Amino acid sequence: MISRALLLGTALALALGGGAVAETEKREVGNIVYDGAPPTPAALQAAIAPYYNARAAGFVDWLPDGSMLITTRFGDTAQLHRVAGPGADRSQLTFFGEPISDAHVRPGTSTFLYPRDVGGAEYYQAYLRDLAGHETQLTAPNTRNQNFVFSKDGKLVAWSQVTPGDPNYDVMLADPSNPAGRRKVLEGTGAIAVRDISADGRTILVARNNAQTWVELFTLDVASGKLTPVGPTDRKIGYVGGVFVDGGKGVLTLSDDGVEFTRPVVIDVASGRVRDLEPGAKWGTEDFDVSPDGKTLAQVVNEEGYSRIVLRDVASGKVIATPKPPLGVLGTIKFSPDGGKLGFGLSTSTNSMDAWSYELKGGKLTRWTQSELGGLDAAKLVEPALFRYPTFDGRQIPAFIYRPGKDAKASAKGGKLPVVIQIHGGPEGQELPAFNPRRQSWVNEIGAAVIIPNVRGSTGYGRTYTGLDNAEKREDSVKDIGALLDWVARQPDLDASRVAVVGQSYGGYMVLAVAGHYNDRIAGAIDLYGISNWITFLQNTEGYRRDLRRAEYGDERKPEMRAVFEKISPIAYSDRMKKPMMVFQGANDPRVPRTESEQMVAKLRAQGTEVWYVMAKDEGHGIYKKANQEAVRATEVVFLKKVLGVE
């Protein structure tokens, strides 16, 4: 059934004089509730299915015998599999209705830990499982758990735990052989994350995440519970990750202190002295791993959205090697237990993610898995082109564009293509040229040019760029989309009268804002679990993330910021949104609660705007089950074809 909140909201809109609301057809198929959205034609459903039959294999971790743990999907959800060697069969280890996307091998054993939630609610419980299928629950019921780290000898595991409504994470510690003996070693304040455990098990490295560009590092003495700051404390620094090196005397982390881009540094724990391993870095390092002996660093460097691997000597900072896998986007990267290999996942624009390895001594790159494209013709998949366009303040905004090939469904009118602009969430995120079945389906089944911009506030382009949309500057990022619409209008092959915008989460807010500010310049919009009212969003998002969101968006409890929110919340200017809109929501979303979508749907319908409302009863912040993906993505294509005038 459609939610009571939506029905009440519609009734309230009518009572307030919002105008007549047309009755919409409601139907339920599987776990999807459709309200006002038509059925998908069978032929279109068949055309869309191969895009979501395509599989991916993400590298997760190494097992002691040299085999890999990967995550891939053979049924409706991604599960853990073991791959004995390159090209070997994928042997499934977990079988759940809920997706499993992460795991950590307990050092020295074939036991692995993995987190799992229910229905996308993100209250993760962790389980220990061996290859024979014996399973033990590690974490306490009714808690959210994350940031799991094993000690190097496998005798301890530490993690962060929070309870419903609480903004403060605690640090938990347990012997994996005795989960019932878990204990709290820190009553935390703020978003505390566990990073590493010292070799002797007496010290835990933790981070307090205050904002994207303000993360504090501490050592936690397990016996006393005392926190001691690591590194400078007189300024805000954005750290990413962290591990003990030099026998616990140093911490290797990524830092943006005094620079635009995160780069690897080693901080002396006792003195606070910082040693920069990559002075003058021109691009940011976004992930890393350190070899088991602490001597070699593997960096994942982000250059214009593409990943590059750099191996560096920790002691000297000198580059050892730069492996050259196919140009694409990397997933998890990790050294093997003996330090001889590096495992990683790699996705390109035209190939879904697969597991790879790199041998440090021989320099050999090996592809371990060959994920199936699900019946798609690889020759029809499109590589995007990077470009930049000018915006209102003279900055150049980076973006990728996918243009249809000669075999795509023809939809050009007068030689001009319809356009779909997809806006990422975050806002601290980045659109990347990885394999994306959704974009490829828009290109090939609609015949649209697809543009994925990285407006101000995106990561990957430096600390200053990431902060350009904070607090009262929020709508400057919306103006960047206005500038993109100007750019589209100047292109001889793009049809400025047939443009649709699509976005999820924060990108959903952007879509709503664009629909209000640029109503006459778009044909339609798809908002997926977007923020419609900044005040109600901040009041209702889960407690464990509320303060982090206030640091980015602004604090609604402050009168001056509340006044800004009252002005820029899309629901405040919904009367300008006249073009058709599709809204999707996961019923169990803890980040952007379903009330954000439902109050927007009610307001739009009350004023007579056409709205297709689609809700998944068993999803949260995203769409992770294959059946749901196929259903919702097919409805998106039906909607886009309608508003873009594509037969």
Mean pLDDT of 185-207: 96
The model's pTM: 0.91
Is 98's pLDDT higher than 80? yes
Q: What is the mean pLDDT of residues 148-164?
A: 96
**409 pLDDT band (50/70/90 cuts)?**
low
Q: What is the CA radius of gyration of the chain?
A: 25
Across the strands, what pairs with 254? 240, 264
271-275, 339-343, 586-590: segment of lowest average pLDDT: 586-590
Mean pLDDT of 254-265: 96
* Structure token pair of residue 598: 């439902």
Contact 414, 405 (CB under 8 A): no
pLDDT-derived band of residue 410, with 50, 70 and 90 as boundaries? low
| Residue 571: band (very low, low, confident or very high) from pLDDT cuts 50, 70, 90 | very high
Mean pLDDT of the chain: 92
> How far apart (Å, rounded) are the C-alpha atoms in residues 641 and 442?
9
How sure is the predictor about 260, in pLDDT bands with cuts at 50, 70 and 90? very high
Q: Higher pLDDT residue, 244 or 375?
A: 244
Question: How many residues make up the chain in this entry?
Answer: 647
Confidence of residue 521 (pLDDT cuts 50, 70, 90): very high
Note the pLDDT of residue 607. 96
Q: Summarize the confidence of residues 514-525 as an average pLDDT.
A: 98
Q: What is the pLDDT of residue 23?
A: 58
Asked whether the beta carbons of 575 and 218 are under 8 A apart, the reply is no
Convert the pLDDT of each residue in 52-67 to its tens digit: 999 999 999 999 999 9
d(CA 247, CA 264): 18
Residue 73 phi, psi dihedral angles, 5° rounding: -120, 130
What does 463-522 look like in DSSP terms, one character per residue? HHHHTTTSGGGHHHHHHHHHHHHHHHHH-TTEEEEEEEEEEETHHHHHHHHHHHHTGGG-
What Å distances lie between residue 347 and 56, 329, 366, 405, 437, CA to CA? 9, 5, 14, 21, 12
Q: What is the pLDDT of residue 15?
A: 34
pLDDT-derived band at 283, boundaries 50, 70, 90: very high
Biggest distance spanned by C-alpha atoms of the chain: 74
Residue 344 and residue 60: Cα distance in Å, rounded? 8
Q: Rounded to an integer, what distance in angstroms lies between the CA atom of residue 620 and that of residue 597?
A: 13
The number of C-alpha atoms within 13 Å of 635 and in the hemisphere containing its C-beta is: 28
Which residue, chain included where needed, has tokens 């592809």?
Answer: 367
Domains (range + CATH), the chain: 4-52+375-644 (3.40.50.1820)
Q: Is 519's pLDDT higher than 70?
A: yes
Tell me the helix, strand and coil percentages in the chain, rounded to 5: 25, 35, 40
* pLDDT digits 0-9 by tens, 1-42: 334 333 333 333 333 334 444 456 899 999 999 999 999 999
Number of neighbouring beta carbons within 10 Å of residue 309 = 20
| pLDDT for position 469 | 85
User: Once rounded to an integer, what is the mean pLDDT over residues 68-89?
Assistant: 95
What pLDDT digit, counting tens, does each position of 533-552 carry? 999 999 988 888 888 788 77
Query: Which H or E run contains 547?
Result: helix 543-553
- pLDDT of residue 216 exceeding 60, the answer is yes
Q: 575, 519 in Cβ contact below 8 A? A: no
